Amino acid sequence: MLGGMSTRDPQAPGLARFARLIADETRAACLLALLDGRAWTAGELARHAGVAASTLSEHLGKLVAGGLLTEERQGRHRYVRLADARVAQLVEDLAAQVAPGSERPRSLREAGAGSAMARGRTCYDHLAGRLGIAVTDALTGLRLLRRDTEFALTDDGLTWFDEQGIPLVRTGRRPLARACLDWTERRPHLAGVAGAALCRHALDAGWCVRIGSARAVKVTDKGERAFAELLGIEPATLH
């Protein structure tokens, strides 16, 4: 204290409250699950987190009140999703601070799920894991993506997206291209409008399919051919 007056930053209490929202294993599990970009029912999240529905409902109420989740009701079902891409980025960035493998899998099933997530997954609405890194490296190698300071599509990159019929629709203040630190690969992958558009196209075109109830995705035979033809990615890289 100086002269009997506190010098504490006035944002400190708010930051502490916000941090407490995430500092709970059940709520953290829900936030990570919702990084798949989809809306989940409260029941689905309760089973995923391994807690009773009544317990999960209390946790969801706190996350919604804190602005991390949005909810909607359809009949008897309550659906929740991450509030926006900003929240997704925050969760992924925090997850990247946890060293991969710091928590040992408790079963063969959990180990298999972890391996699948590391191989390829969605990070909210863009591709991540080895798949996301392979795509990002390929775009860079073909000079479709610049990574000298921040991520940015080149003129050739804009043309490439247009030629593939992948629209880049900007909404709000979201950047066209953004680097997102991959928590398993410890390297940045492509996010932003371009990353989301490419992920959506890969799923819609059948290049990738979701597997299990988590965020893991698998590259199909059609996807292997497409990634090889369009980006020069060797199929072995995707496994």
C-alpha angle with apex 239: 30 to 135, nearest 5 degrees?
Answer: 75
Q: In tens digits, what is the pLDDT along the chain, a chain of 239 residues? A: 455 556 777 788 888 888 898 999 999 999 988 988 888 998 889 998 889 988 999 999 999 999 999 998 888 888 999 998 888 888 888 887 775 555 554 554 444 455 778 889 988 889 999 999 999 999 999 999 999 878 999 999 999 999 999 999 887 788 899 998 887 888 899 999 999 999 999 999 999 998 875 678 999 999 999 999 999 999 988 87
Residues 6+ apart with CB under 8 A from 48: 29, 30, 33, 40, 213
Query: What pLDDT shows up at residue 145?
Result: 97
Q: Which domains does the chain have, with CATH numbers?
A: 13-83 (1.10.10.10), 108-238 (no CATH)
Sign for the CA dihedral angle at 101, 103, 104, 108 comes to negative
What would the 3-class secondary structure string for the chain be? Answer: CECCECCCCCCHHHHHHHHHHHCCHHHHHHHHHHHHCCCEEHHHHHHHHCCCHHHHHHHHHHHHHCCCEEEEEECCEEEEEECCHHHHHHHHHHHCCCCCCCCCCCCHHHHHHHHHHHHCEEECCEEEHHHHHHHHHHHHHCCCEECCCCCEECHHHHHHHHHCCCCCCCCCCCCCCEEEECCCCCCEEEEHHHHHHHHHHHHHCCCEEECCCCCEEEECHHHHHHHHHHHCCCHHHHC
